[in-house]
């Protein structure tokens, strides 16, 4: 028996090598291609969605907006036209999850510095505290690159409506007024058509790495 295998050793090596290649090709042919979902309100935790939107199953996009950034410049949807961007909600005096989220957003900023079609957008949920000078101070302390990342403030109702009706990224509080918000730790990936393509825990390194991978996948899905 040993002599038989020795005689046909080359044949068996080739056979097993070809079999491995064929199995690999079949696996790749049968494996479904990677896609990113297009999130609709009906797919998101109802606590994060306004009741009148909870059953919408298609055509959801980020609404138009007009807010003010850390340099006192008016920022609108036009500043993000034909851009992929990552959005979140925070406040500068937050002592818990915000410092971690900001640190992780800085890491993402490093990754996209040379990507012209990717930006960041952070909304304060306490505009009564986070004035333009306060946002600028925070931006300088944290290493925000003004060309890539806008920290924005504005009327609380507008921020609330964006958070609940567009990004689906905050819970209501209800104890301090009709537009109070409890922001989540979510980073929201938005495509060039203003559609939500992913939610990621901005306090977890694994989720941030997945966001970076999904961002690269999304970038390559657009024609050069």
Q: Same domain for 8 and 104?
A: no
**18 has a pLDDT exceeding 60:** no
Q: Indicate the pLDDT class of residue 29, thresholds 50, 70 and 90.
A: very low
- What is d(CA 166, CA 120) in angstroms, rounded to the nearest whole number? 16
**Which residue shows structure tokens 């609108």?**
76
Q: Same domain for 107 and 206?
A: yes
Q: Same domain for 9 and 91?
A: no
Is pLDDT larger for residue 172 or for residue 197? 197
Give the torsion sign (CA, 60, 64, 69, 71).
positive
Binding residues: 94, 98, 183
State the CATH number of the domain containing residue 74. 3.40.30.10
Q: Same domain for 139 and 92?
A: yes
Q: Same domain for 50 and 21?
A: no
Q: Same domain for 6 and 61?
A: no
pTM of the model: 0.84
Q: What's the chain's length in residues?
A: 224
- 36 found inside a domain: no
Tens of pLDDT, residues 46-105: 988 988 898 999 999 999 999 999 999 999 999 999 999 999 999 999 999 999 999 999
Tens of pLDDT, residues 150-190: 999 999 999 999 999 999 998 876 555 666 778 889 999 99
Q: Same domain for 65 and 168?
A: yes
Q: Which of 28, 77, 35 is nearest to 218 (CA)?
A: 35
Q: Same domain for 160 and 61?
A: yes
- 25 found inside a domain: yes
Lowest mean pLDDT of 29-33, 113-117, 209-213, name the range.
29-33
Instruction: Output the pLDDT for position 2.
Output: 56
Owning domain of residue 12 = 1-31
Domain count, the chain: 2
Q: Same domain for 22 and 80?
A: no
Count of CB atoms within 10 A of residue 162's CB? 22
E-assigned strands of 69-185?
74-76, 84-90, 118-124, 149-152, 170-172, 181-183
Instruction: Output the pLDDT for position 108.
Output: 98
Q: Same domain for 24 and 113?
A: no
Binding residues for Cu cation: 94, 98, 183
């Amino acid at each position: 028996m040993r002599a038989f295998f020795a005689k046909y050793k080359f044949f068996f090596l080739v056979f097993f090598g070809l079999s491995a290649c064929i199995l690999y090709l079949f696996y790749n042919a049968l494996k479904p291609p990677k896609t990113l979902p297009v999130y609709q309100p009906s797919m998101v935790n109802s606590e994060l969605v306004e009741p009148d939107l909870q059953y919408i199953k298609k055509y959801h996009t980020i609404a138009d907006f007009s807010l003010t950034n850390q340099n006192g410049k008016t920022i609108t949807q036009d500043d993000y036209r034909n851009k992929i961007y990552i959005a979140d909600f925070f406040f500068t005096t937050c002592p818990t999850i915000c410092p971690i989220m900001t640190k992780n957003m800085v890491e993402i900023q490093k990754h996209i510095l040379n990507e012209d079609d990717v930006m960041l957008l952070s909304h304060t949920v306490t505009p009564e505290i986070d004035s333009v000078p306060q946002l600028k101070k925070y931006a300088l302390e944290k290493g925000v690159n003004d060309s890539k990342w806008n920290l924005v403030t504005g009327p609380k109702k507008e921020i609330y409506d964006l958070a609940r009706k567009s990004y689906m990224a905050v819970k209501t509080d209800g104890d301090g007024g009709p537009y109070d918000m409890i922001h989540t730790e979510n980073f929201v990936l938005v495509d060039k058509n203003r559609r939500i393509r992913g939610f990621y825990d901005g306090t977890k390194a694994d989720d941030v790495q997945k966001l970076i991978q999904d961002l690269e996948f999304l970038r390559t899905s657009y024609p050069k």
